């Protein structure tokens, strides 16, 4: 196993299996099928579990509490694209690999089945559902070792593939930079879906002035550009509008989402997302 993979494994296992339980990522909850009881709603709980009849009768919100009848199926999707070969602090690809490992160990700690898939315009690699740590080790090495330059990612094709390939209702977590427009509505209707956006602050707000020879990591083409404040401001506006539409789409279709920058600790953001 390569040095970088070992570093990430040690770090993620320490965070999830260390003695300070209060700092761990919350276990995956999923949607149970065995009704247990009603309880008064508290801030942060899943609004989809609100019992509206009881809420109307009591004039305050109540939620259904379920016992899990079976183990959960956790599916992590790694969105492969040349655009993840970038980072001013760490490469997006490395941060995505660490996120994959954190999700894998969180699933195993909860005794759930974990599988991971790598997809660009088609399926690159698939690790079948397992409760063995070996599946996390293998997925991490795959994530770090992938040659991503020249690859074009297609999240819509990935979502469509998952819709047909993952039959059992699952918790699906897509990891990528989501720089293209996506439609996750059908996948979110079948599964409990999360979109984990990995970005670098420099790509959202670049500070470059003058003439540059830039390489497109997807097409491999060189572009000679003369960058000034007007051009950069237009890019920032366009990306901000793209992200606004993406956030609205996720809210509309109940897709949990978070954005993790390359200078941040993924563990902290994931802990908030999975509460």
Q: What is the pLDDT of residues 118-140, one digit of tens each?
A: 999 999 999 999 999 999 999 99
- Tokens 């469509």, residue? 160
User: SS3 of 193, please?
Assistant: strand
Spell out the long-range contacts of 37-40 with Cβ–Cβ below 8 A and sequence spacing 24 or more.
37/65, 38/62, 38/63, 38/64, 38/65, 39/63, 39/65
Residue 18, pLDDT above cutoff 70: no
pLDDT(113) > 90: yes
Least reliable range by pLDDT among 157-161, 219-223, 231-235, 265-269: 219-223
Mean of pLDDT values over 187-209? 93
Dump pLDDT digits (tens) for 27-70: 566 554 556 678 888 877 778 788 888 888 888 898 887 655 45
| CATH code 3.40.50 region(s) in the chain | 3-19+70-273
* Res. 217: pLDDT tops 80: yes
Residue 264 has pLDDT above 60, yes or no: yes
Place of tokens 């989402």: 257
Whose structure tokens read 């789409």? 249
Strand order in the sheet with 113-119: 123-130, 113-119, 73-79, 171-176, 192-199, 256-261
Average pLDDT, the chain: 88
pLDDT number for residue 21: 44
Q: What is the mean pLDDT of residues 1-16?
A: 80
Q: Please report the pLDDT score of residue 118 as a whole number.
A: 98
Check: CB of residue 175 under 8 Å from CB of residue 76: yes
**Mean pLDDT: which of 16-20, 25-29, 105-109, 198-202 is highest?**
198-202
Strands (E), the chain: 34-40, 62-67, 73-79, 113-119, 123-130, 171-176, 192-199, 210-215, 222-227, 256-261
In angstroms, rounded to a whole number, what is the distance separating the alpha carbons of residues 171 and 173?
A: 7
> So what's the pLDDT on residue 1?
63
Over the stretch 67-90, which tens digit does the pLDDT of each residue have? 554 578 999 999 999 999 999 999
The mean per-residue pLDDT over the stretch 160-176 comes to 95
Residue 32: predicted pLDDT: 47
DSSP 63-101: EEEEE--S--EEEEEEE--GGGS--SSS-HHHHHHHHHH
pLDDT band at 260 (very low <50, low <70, confident <90, very high): very high
pLDDT at 36: 66
pTM of the full predicted structure?
0.82
Q: What's the pLDDT at 151? A: 95
**Is residue 58 classed as helix, strand or coil in its secondary structure?**
helix
Q: What is the pLDDT of residue 187?
A: 97
* Residue 245 pLDDT: 98
Its CATH class, for the domain covering 3-19+70-273, is: alpha beta
């Amino acid at each position: 196993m390569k040095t970088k993979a070992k570093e990430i494994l040690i770090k993620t296992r320490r965070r999830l299996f260390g003695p300070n339980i209060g700092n761990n990522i919350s276990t995956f909850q999923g949607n149970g099928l065995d009704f247990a009881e009603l309880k008064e709603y508290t801030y942060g709980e899943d609004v989809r579990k609100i019992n509206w009849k009881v809420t109307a009768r009591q004039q305050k919100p109540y939620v259904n509490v379920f016992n899990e009848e079976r183990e959960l199926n956790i599916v992590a999707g790694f969105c492969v694209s040349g655009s993840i070969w970038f980072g001013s602090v760490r490469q997006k690809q490395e941060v995505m690999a660490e996120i994959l490992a954190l999700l894998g160990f969180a699933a195993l700690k909860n005794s759930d089945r974990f599988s991971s898939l790598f997809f660009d315009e088609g399926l690159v690699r698939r690790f079948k559902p397992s409760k063995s740590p070996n599946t996390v080790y293998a997925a991490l090495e795959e994530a770090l070792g992938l040659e991503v330059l020249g690859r074009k990612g297609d999240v819509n094709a990935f979502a469509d593939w998952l819709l047909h390939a993952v039959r059992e209702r699952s918790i699906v977590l897509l990891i990528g930079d989501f720089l293209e427009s996506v439609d996750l509505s059908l996948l979110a209707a079948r599964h409990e879906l999360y979109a984990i956006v990995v970005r670098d602050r420099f790509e959202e707000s670049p500070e470059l002035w003058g003439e540059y020879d830039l390489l497109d990591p997807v097409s491999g083409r060189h572009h000679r550009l003369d960058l000034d404040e007007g051009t950069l401001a237009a890019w920032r506006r366009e990306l901000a509008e793209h992200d606004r539409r993406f956030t609205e789409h996720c809210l509309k279709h109940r897709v949990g989402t978070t954005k993790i920058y390359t200078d941040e600790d993924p563990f902290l953001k994931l802990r908030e997302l999975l509460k």
